């Protein structure tokens, strides 16, 4: 298993037990957009997973290793893709239950999962834990695109007296994803200094990143909703090295505009592109 290569899996609509087909209105309003190919941020790009170029491990994978845990996570998403939610739920154990996570998937028409490289394996109270970064991207049932990054933790009981064979296997222990997705933030989408700049000089905001037409890039660390807009703790690259910054986004309702302030990128007044 290579740490630097994200594994993309398509989760078909209906993968979780309670999934329902999109309504007639949803299909008619977004039919053409829903057919467009999805291009998620690549590893190393803002909004994407980390680009870890660790070489491919040679030889068989030890099922007790961190890479063995990654295989369980890949199997989980493959089972969801195949519509085998019951079998997928059997790969959960311990902390969180799969109910909330599967319910989250129900809001999507189309979901893909990219799995990054494992963190360091840690131990506590007779068990081992390992975190995996996971990127979920796709379309909501209304056709809007989303991109959410989070962490999924796997756990196994160590080879201690009294433990069962099943307990000594890796299971999904917890899934931590942002509560808000791209569809929840008002700033997500394309903005420009004027409507005429929308075709080729638009600013692109996602729930986790910003790309400007001048080439500046920001990766969001924390988005805080404040009166009139958002304060975003970010790390931005403009003309110099990456720098910590606080982006201030404020909506001017009467002008239907977005006011942008930054210490690294020049302030701007933007209008939404259709």
Instruction: Write the pLDDT tens digit of every residue in 5-55.
Output: 334 444 433 333 222 222 222 333 344 444 466 777 777 766 677 776 555
> How far from each other are the two terminal CA atoms of the chain, in whole angstroms?
42
**Region at 138 (left for phi over 0; alpha for psi -120 to 50; beta for the rest):** left
Give the per-residue pLDDT at 34. 42
Give the per-residue pLDDT at 57. 54
Q: Per-residue pLDDT tens for 119-132?
A: 889 888 789 999 99
Which pTM was predicted? 0.55
Give the per-residue pLDDT at 103. 65
Count Cα neighbours of 266 within 13 Å in the Cβ-side half-sphere: 10
Contacts of 139 (CB under 8 A, 6+ apart): 34, 38, 108, 109, 110, 145, 146
Quote the DSSP letter at residue 99.
H
Give the per-residue pLDDT at 73. 92
Give the per-residue pLDDT at 214. 92
Give the per-residue pLDDT at 153. 93
Which regions in the chain score pLDDT beneath 50?
1-35, 56
CATH classification number, 7-179, choose in 1.10.8, 3.10.450, 3.90.70, 3.30.60: 3.10.450
In this structure, the dihedral spanned by the alpha carbons of residues 28, 85, 158 and 5, taken in order and rounded to 10 degrees, is -40
Give the per-residue pLDDT at 22. 28
Give the per-residue pLDDT at 27. 32
Query: CA–CA separation, 3 vs 101, rounded Å?
Result: 24
Question: Could you give the 3-state DSSP secondary structure of residue 76?
Answer: helix
In the chain, ranges of CATH 3.10.450 domains: 7-179
Write out the two tokens for 187: 């700033």
Question: Could you give the 3-state DSSP secondary structure of residue 81?
Answer: helix
Give the per-residue pLDDT at 47. 66
């Amino acid at each position: 298993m290579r740490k630097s290569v994200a594994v993309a899996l398509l989760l078909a609509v209906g993968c979780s037990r309670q999934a329902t087909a999109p309504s007639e209105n949803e299909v008619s309003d977004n039919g053409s957009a829903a057919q467009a190919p999805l291009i998620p941020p690549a590893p190393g790009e803002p909004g994407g997973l980390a680009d870890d170029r660790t070489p491919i491990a040679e030889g068989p994978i030890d099922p007790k290793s961190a890479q063995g845990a990654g295989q369980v996570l890949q199997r989980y998403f493959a089972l969801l893709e195949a519509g085998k939610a019951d079998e997928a739920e059997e790969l959960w154990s311990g902390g969180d239950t799969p109910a909330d996570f599967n319910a989250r998937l129900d809001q999507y028409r189309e979901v893909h999962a990219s799995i990054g490289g494992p963190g360091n394996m840690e131990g506590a109270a007779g068990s081992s834990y390992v975190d995996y970064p996971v990127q979920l991207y796709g379309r909501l049932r209304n056709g809007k695109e989303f991109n959410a990054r989070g962490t999924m933790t796997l756990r196994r009981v160590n080879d201690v007296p009294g433990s069962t064979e099943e307990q000594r296997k890796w299971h999904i222990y917890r899934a931590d994803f942002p509560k808000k997705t791209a569809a929840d933030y008002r700033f997500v989408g394309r903005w420009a200094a004027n409507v005429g700049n929308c075709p080729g000089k638009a600013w692109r905001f996602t729930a986790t990143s910003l790309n400007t037409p001048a080439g500046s890039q920001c990766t969001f660390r924390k988005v805080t909703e404040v009166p009139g807009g958002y304060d975003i703790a970010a790390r931005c690259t403009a003309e110099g090295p990456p720098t910590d910054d606080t982006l201030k986004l404020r909506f001017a309702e009467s002008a239907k505009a977005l006011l942008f302030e930054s210490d690294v990128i020049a302030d701007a007044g933007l209008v939404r592109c259709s």
